Amino acid sequence: MKHEVHGTQQPRHINKIGEGASTAQRSDSLVQSINQRFLNTDTIAAIATPPGRGGVGVIRISGNNLTNLAVAILGKLPKPRYASLNNFIGDNGRIIDQGIALYFPAPHSYTGEDVLELQGHGGPAVMHLLLNRCLSTGARLAQPGEFTLRAYLNDKIDLIQAESVADIIEASTAEAARCAVNSLQGHFSAKIETLVQSLISLRMLVEATLDFPEEEIDHLYAAQITGQLAQIHAELDQIFQAAQQGNLLQEGIKIVLAGAPNVGKSSLLNQLVEEEAAIVTEIPGTTRDTIERTIAIAGVPIHIIDTAGLRETSDAIELKGIERTHAAIKSANLVLQLFDSGRHTTADPAQNSIAADKPQLTIFNKIDLTGESPRIETDESGDTVYLSAKTGAGIDLLRQKILDIAGWRFNQAGEGVIMARQRHLEALTKAKAHLYTAQTLTQMGYQLELLAEELRLAQLDLSSITGQFTADDLLGEIFSRFCIGK
């Protein structure tokens, strides 16, 4: 059986890897926009600057032909790529505002279509007046992420680069922002494309042998197939490890501080965030609700949640706080279990209710009262950190241990890290599985039809990362999470 070998230069919107129903209404709207895109491209407009007052507000407009709209609002079509001062004219001929107009004709624009940006004063009232004027002249309100979606559909950027736009906006640390910019520049895409091209070359080699019986396969071809497959698998492993680190930079790690009342959870929160985020008193049960803060350790976002103390109580308010504590623990990536070093015991029935399947780190606090030194001890039950949340002794040890548990292995600059989302990791994992099966097949005497199919599936999984083979409903889900106007 012959398998047709395809390159990666296929229309993005035609090749699909699956169909499924969207889960959000605005995701559905984007899917409809995607489908409509190939029938009739309409003009979209949106406020591109954040809500609220500011010195400058920007209206972004994109469409196939903006001449009539520009003449209606500006009295002329501006000179391409020149900033010009203009009056923005309303429906009744009155001036809405005065500002800068920038015109970028297709295809040399962000979306690949004609793009017009109106930069006026950043007051909410004037921005909405100007937006309504654009809508009254034939534009419609853009969906979240629709400008970037059009850039993707018009081959200005691939799907990884499109997602990196949102990653830059949402980055909570400088390292995450730098990695997202690298993805926007095409670094991640280039690695995937190199891997895909290697797979295509290997598939061509396998296809060339399919006309011959297995016992007649040239030993040179067999050695080439085995060597190339091993090389591709090794390169994919490197990309996967770098992507795991990038996913950690993007998502961070969610940590819950748990323990009995008055063991120092709030003091530890304040020490980690380096501010008075929580009230600290000698009265047990001071914290009745969860308190959340985000910090960065070596560039990795750490989302810390201080919780109500775990103990038996009949207080209705405290019981509600304990209920929220257990809810936070269920969603945590790591639980820091705090104990009083003066007691030197972890036999606390209330804390035994913490889910055993959650990664946990034991902490003995208040070593300033016992005279102990800050340290980390390891035994068959795991690691234990001895520290003082009051003086800060041992806090650096805790920070490093958190990074170790999270799996952070790169330097603070994030060198070699690939900004990756969960869908990227899932696609890489599937591709790794297909390559592993392919390697197994080569050890079983080269079942070429099955080998060719596994290589084809691996290529499809990798191509889905850049969006070469992607379902429209997945695009709707991705772009619906963008800001309106981006």
Q: What is the pLDDT of residues 429-447, one digit of tens each?
A: 999 999 999 988 887 765 7
259-298: per-residue pLDDT in tens? 888 888 888 888 888 766 544 445 444 444 568 888 888 8
Closest CA to 306 of 344, 280, 341, 342: 280
Looking at residue 476, its pLDDT comes to 59
Q: Residue 97's pLDDT band (boundaries 50, 70, 90)?
A: very high
Each domain of the chain, given as residue ranges in start order, spans 43-138, 252-406
SS3 per residue for the chain: CCCCCCCCCCCCCCCCCCCCCCCCHHHHHHHHHHHHHCCCCCCEEEECCCCCCEEEEEEEEEECCCHHHHHHHHCCCCCECCCEEEEEECCCCCEEEEEEEEEECCCCCCCCCEEEEEEEEECHHHHHHHHHHHHHCCCEECCCCHHHHHHHHCCCCCHHHHHHHHHHHHCCCHHHHHHHHHHHCCHHHHHHHHHHHHHHHHHHHHHHHCCCCHHHCCHHHHHHHHHHHHHHHHHHHHHHHHHHHHHHHHHCEEEEEEECCCCCHHHHHHHHHCCCCCCCCCCCCCCCCCEEEEEEECCEEEEEEECCCCCCCCCHHHHHHHHHHHHHHHCCCEEEEEEECCCCCCCCCCHHHCCCCCCEEEEEECHHHHCCCCEEEEECCEEEEECCCCCCCCHHHHHHHHHHHHCCCCCCCCCCCCCCCHHHHHHHHHHHHHHHHHHHHHHCCCCHHHHHHHHHHHHHHHHHHHCCCCCHHHHHHHHCCCCCCC
Q: Residue 46's pLDDT band (boundaries 50, 70, 90)?
A: very high
What average pLDDT does this structure show over 88-105? Answer: 94
What average pLDDT does this structure show over 11-34? Answer: 43
Average pLDDT along the chain: 80
Looking at residue 20, its pLDDT comes to 35
What average pLDDT does this structure show over 146-174? Answer: 88
Give ∠ CA 204-424-420 in degrees, rounded to 5: 125
Per-residue pLDDT at 17 exceeds 50 = no
Looking at residue 283, its pLDDT comes to 47
For domain 43-138, which CATH number applies: 3.40.50.2020, 3.40.50.620, 3.30.1360.120, 3.90.25.10?
3.30.1360.120
Per-residue pLDDT at 237 exceeds 50 = yes
296-315: per-residue pLDDT in tens? 888 888 998 887 666 555 55
Greater pLDDT, 36 or 343: 343
Before 284, cis peptide (omega within 30)?
no
Token pair for residue 312? 């038996």
Q: Residue 411's pLDDT band (boundaries 50, 70, 90)?
A: low
Greater pLDDT, 416 or 415: 416
109-149: per-residue pLDDT in tens? 999 999 999 999 999 999 999 999 999 999 999 988 899 99
Looking at residue 147, its pLDDT comes to 92
339-386: per-residue pLDDT in tens? 988 776 655 555 555 656 678 899 999 999 988 999 999 888 889 999
Which fold would CATH assign to domain 252-406? Rossmann fold (3.40.50)
Looking at residue 34, its pLDDT comes to 53
470-484: per-residue pLDDT in tens? 555 556 556 666 667
Sheet holding 44-47, edge to edge: 84-89, 95-104, 114-122, 54-63, 44-47, 140-141
Looking at residue 111, its pLDDT comes to 93
Amino acid, res. 80 = P
Q: Residue 16's pLDDT band (boundaries 50, 70, 90)?
A: very low
Q: Contact at 8 Å (CB) between 159 and 13?
A: no
The highest-confidence range among 88-92, 345-349, 464-468, 473-477, by mean pLDDT, is 88-92
What average pLDDT does this structure show over 187-203? Answer: 91
Per-residue pLDDT at 150 exceeds 70 = yes
21-35, 200-214, 321-335, 440-454: which has the minimum mean pLDDT?
21-35
What average pLDDT does this structure show over 33-54? Answer: 75
Amino acid, res. 332 = A
Per-residue pLDDT at 66 exceeds 90 = yes
Q: Contact at 8 Å (CB) between 122 and 159?
A: no
* pTM reported for the whole predicted model: 0.71
Per-residue pLDDT at 39 exceeds 60 = no
What average pLDDT does this structure show over 59-73? Answer: 95
Q: Contact at 8 Å (CB) between 232 and 202?
A: yes
Looking at residue 89, its pLDDT comes to 95
Q: Residue 33's pLDDT band (boundaries 50, 70, 90)?
A: low
Looking at residue 29, its pLDDT comes to 57
